[in-house]
């Protein structure tokens, strides 16, 4: 079965799914995106993802391509046409097509919208998380508005590639102060020797992960201690547990950091509990 993409008003096979050479997403990474999990045929946390999309768009003064209700229909239809029960749906909105010029076009232009969806094997994903994964660290060389979910992801691409070449699953960015900001496509967490869960506050230095927000709800409900503050690489090395979160992988235990064992080298009790509880707290669409 060929995969189908929604591109600016049409559902087309991937081989025909093309955008204009002067789309500002292509020319300038002048666009934003979202990735939402599909699980057992339902969208996970759609509301929060679309809220974040609205925020990203408004920070960049891009007018949404359609209403939220219409976008919801397109998302569902793309998932349906690709027969995805478990996987992800990806949406990207760019400022649109205009003669190449750095400044915004003078005349309003319609934003471009693409939506794709693909299956992922939840069993395979769970297996990786059962064992725990390795993470490497790289200097955070991104701009200071990474809270906007833009498609300008080159530093993230290079970080993920470095992780892959090192045999690790993710790369954590470390800023000039020696503090971990986040992963190349995930938020970063540790559990200290005292059992306190620590993650960086959602300011401009990290993306406000939707999975992160759900984890905060679980921690509060479970009465687990949380500190929303930056943590250093040294603290991460000494942590009892470490993990990362994202909509496509949910909660993944980190058992190796730059080649050194974290905690006792196995997924710990806090991360295991968060994995267990996640879908009780996330919102699943009807």
Q: Is 155 in the site for ligand PMP (CB under 6 A)?
A: no
Q: Is 56 in the site for ligand PMP (CB under 6 A)?
A: no
Catalytic residue among 124, 149, 164, 266: 149
d(C-alpha 120, C-alpha 87), whole Å? 4
Q: What is the dihedral of CA 174, 194, 244, 181, to 10 degrees?
A: -20
The residue among 112 and 249 lying less far from ligand PMP, judged by its C-beta, is: 249
Per the annotation, the verdict on 177 as an active-site residue is no
247 counts as binding ligand PMP under rule CB under 6 A: yes
**The only residue of 159, 207, 219, 270 in contact with ligand PMP, by rule CB under 6 A:** 207
**What is the torsional sign of CA 47, 35, 44, 66?**
positive
The strand pairing partners of 11, in sequence order, are 6
| Contact call for residue 210 and ligand PMP (CB under 6 A) | yes
Whole-angstrom distance, CA of residue 26 vs CA of residue 24: 5
Instruction: Find the part of the chain contacting ligand PMP (CB under 6 A) among 55-63, 91-99, 205-213, 272-280.
Output: 205-213
Binding of residue 211 to ligand PMP (CB under 6 A): yes
- If we measure between CA atoms, which residue out of 93, 108, 113, 79 comes closest to residue 8? 113
- ∠159-160-163 over CA atoms, to 5°? 90
> Which of the residues 171 through 190 are near ligand PMP (CB under 6 A)?
182, 185-187
Judged by CB, which is closer to ligand PMP: 191, or 207? 207
- In whole angstroms, what is the distance from residue 262 CA to residue 243 CA? 10
Binding residue (CB under 6 A) for ligand PMP from 24, 95, 160, 212: 212
Active centre residues (catalytic): 149
Q: Which residues bind ligand PMP (CB under 6 A)?
A: 35, 156, 182, 185-187, 207, 209-212, 245-247
């Amino acid at each position: 079965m060929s995969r189908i993409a929604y591109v600016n008003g049409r559902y087309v096979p991937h081989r025909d799914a093309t955008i204009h050479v002067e789309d500002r997403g292509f020319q300038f990474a002048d666009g934003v995106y979202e990735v939402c999990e599909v699980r057992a045929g339902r969208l996970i946390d759609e509301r929060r993802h679309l809220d974040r999309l609205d925020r990203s768009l408004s920070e960049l003064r891009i007018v949404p391509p359609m209403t939220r209700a219409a976008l919801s229909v397109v998302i569902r239809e793309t998932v349906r046409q690709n027969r995805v029960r478990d996987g992800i749906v990806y949406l990207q909105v760019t400022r649109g097509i205009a003669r190449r010029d750095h400044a915004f076009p003078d005349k309003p232009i319609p934003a471009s919208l693409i939506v794709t969806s693909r299956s992922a094997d939840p069993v395979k994903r769970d297996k990786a998380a059962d064992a725990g994964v390795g993470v490497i660290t790289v200097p955070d060389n991104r701009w200071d508005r990474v809270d906007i979910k833009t498609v300008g992801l080159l530093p993230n691409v290079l970080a993920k590639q470095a992780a892959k070449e090192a045999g690790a699953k993710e790369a954590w960015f470390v800023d000039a102060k020696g503090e971990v900001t986040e992963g190349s496509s995930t938020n970063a967490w540790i559990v200290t020797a005292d059992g306190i869960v620590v993650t960086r506050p959602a300011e401009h230095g990290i993306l406000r992960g939707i999975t992160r927000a759900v984890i905060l709800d679980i921690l509060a409900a479970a009465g687990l201690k949380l500190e929303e503050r930056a943590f250093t690489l040294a603290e991460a090395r000494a942590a009892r547990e470490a993990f990362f979160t994202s909509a496509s992988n949910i909660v993944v235990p980190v058992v190796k950091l730059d080649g050194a064992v974290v905690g006792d080298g196995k997924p710990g009790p806090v991360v295991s509990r968060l994995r267990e509880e996640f879908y009780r707290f996330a919102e699943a669409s009807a």
